[in-house]
Amino acid sequence: MRRERHFLLPKVFLFYLLSIAILTSGCIKYSYNIEIDNKDVVHITEIDSMRSSFIKKLDEERNKKIQYAIDIKKANLTSEKYEIEDFDDGKYKGLKSVRHIKLSRFSDLYLPQGFSTPQNRPIVVSKSFYKKTYSILLNYNIKYATRNMIDNFSTFSDPEEDEKIDSLHKRIKPISELTIKIPAKAISHNADGVLNNNEYKWNLISNKPVDISIKYEKINWLNIFLTLLMIFTVILLITAIKNRDTK
């Protein structure tokens, strides 16, 4: 079972944040970016934000409580070696966290909130002599992203509390999106859109879990070159032997 990250805020604040957001559908937004570079390093970016126009309508006391939650989350993420910065694109304000992990160490523990994987690892690599095949298979549930944004909801055991949060989540209808950037063109994927040859985007629907899959290959040109060199060398040797025998 996946071990969740712990953002230990009072459960009361969870209900507070969701209740003030009820009147503004789509005021909460989650943006995720997973990039795998050519050196097999995974760069994970997560942005949790609220609509700027909505924040401006809040009174000073409510803004202080939201800032209090952000400060605690910053402290938790910093202790887990995330790069943290405030986010503001003019429409949304929030918190941006970035982490860089070698693919060999990348497990479901490092997936952004709301994500899980049915595989042993989020990215499975199968190798042959001439190529590597990278398979990414994830599942996203925005409901758990909302729960875990404030607290480690997996420890909750009160069915009534669970039901209340489910109800509030349906009413606030948060927005969520994912982009995955890979170092080669995908050979298969189920993305909602292709931003360019190697960047793919999913709109993560809020009313049901979303399956995410993408696969790509990296050719081992060195091994191909060595194979061709060996073949060429063998041909030269055979030719040289034949020429010698004919003399």
- pLDDT tens digits for range 155-190: 344 445 556 656 656 666 778 899 999 999 999 999
| Pairing, β 92-102 against β 41-51 | antiparallel
For 80, list phi and psi in degrees, rounded to 5: -100, 15
Query: What is the pLDDT at residue 169?
Result: 61
Residues of the chain with pLDDT under 70: 1-26, 58-59, 61-69, 76, 78-80, 146-172, 206-207, 245-247
- Helix, strand, or coil here: 32? strand
How many other CB atoms are found less than 10 A from the CB of residue 172?
A: 20
Per-residue pLDDT, 247: 60
The pTM score is: 0.75
Specify the pLDDT at position 150.
47
Total residues found in the chain within this entry = 247
Question: What pLDDT is recorded for position 143?
Answer: 75
Location of structure tokens 């170092």: 183
At 191, list the tokens: 């993305």
Give the dihedral sign, CA 156/159/164/170. Answer: positive
Which residue type is seen at 214?
I
In sequence order, the β-bridge partners of residue 211 are 139
Please tell me the predicted confidence (pLDDT) of residue 37: 95
Contacts of 41 (CB under 8 A, 6+ apart): 100, 101, 102, 103
Residue 75: per-residue pLDDT: 73
